Amino acid sequence: MTDAAALPGQPRGGVLSGPATARAVNVLAPNPSAMTLDGTNTWIVSEPDSDLAVVVDPGPLDEGHLRNVIATAEKAGKRVALTLLTHGHPDHAEGAARFAELTDTPVRALDPALRLGDEGLAAGDVVGVGGLEMRVVPTPGHTADSLCFHLPADRAVLTGDTVLGRGTTVVAHPDGRLGDYLDSLRRLRSLTVDDGVRTVLPGHGPVLDDAQGAVEFYLAHRAHRLAQVETAVENGHTTPAAVVAHVYADVDRSLWPAAELSVRAQMEYLKEHGLI
């Protein structure tokens, strides 16, 4: 058995659902898959002494899950007052409209098409509900509309799909762009160095107790993959499918379609920088 402390980001073991920090509780959605890992993490965030809560990423359109999120908040004496989205992929956002109906709450997101209500989300915004402070951190790359939420009081950051609790994420070309993603990872690294962020509350997988280690691993992994793709192209593997078969030969073939999205993003980045 591998010691979790030796893994990138020091993932926590045990059950994923339940309290993760003083202010954040996870309710795991029942949508496990190769892409969603154990399922989507739906986060209930609130000040310990407040009766108001914010929900981040209601998850898929699963009535049982959405009602379970509400019941979990109510059991803790909380009323859901606001819904936030890290990005628009269905496993995070498809249930948002129905959740808004059940809770009578607005939905705030970067993408106007996902919003319900007058307010969106933008860089520098501070979400405050019941004394809670969550700072909006733009982190495009996985998708163009990806956001993270910095929770200063817990020295934590909710990362959606930008950083996962296990493995690495897909840069979903053409919406996702590798250059943007690398900048976003550096922005998150700055949070760990300059703002004391220690904990990653991801959109999938376990909580990570070494935020800086996780981000450094992601940056190193991206640099390594990029070098592999560059070498593969130089050796005659000139199509994304051919690069995937060569570079990702050790990866489960069911993940190759997602890997091809990342390869397309990497090849575009290399072309933009005159490297292929």
Catalytic residues: 91
Give the Cα separation of 58 and 65 in Å (integer).
8
The SS3 assignment for 151 reads strand
Measured between alpha carbons, how far apart are the two ends of the chain, in Å? Answer: 41
Strand pairing report for 24-28 and 18-19: antiparallel
Give the Cα separation of 59 and 62 in Å (integer).
8
Question: How far are the Cα atoms of 85, 212, 219 from residue 98, in angstroms, in the given order?
Answer: 14, 36, 37
Please count the other Cβ atoms lying within 10 Å of the Cβ belonging to residue 56.
26
User: Residue 137 in contact with residue 150, Cβ under 8 Å?
Assistant: yes
Q: C-alpha angle with apex 266: 263 to 268, nearest 5 degrees?
A: 110
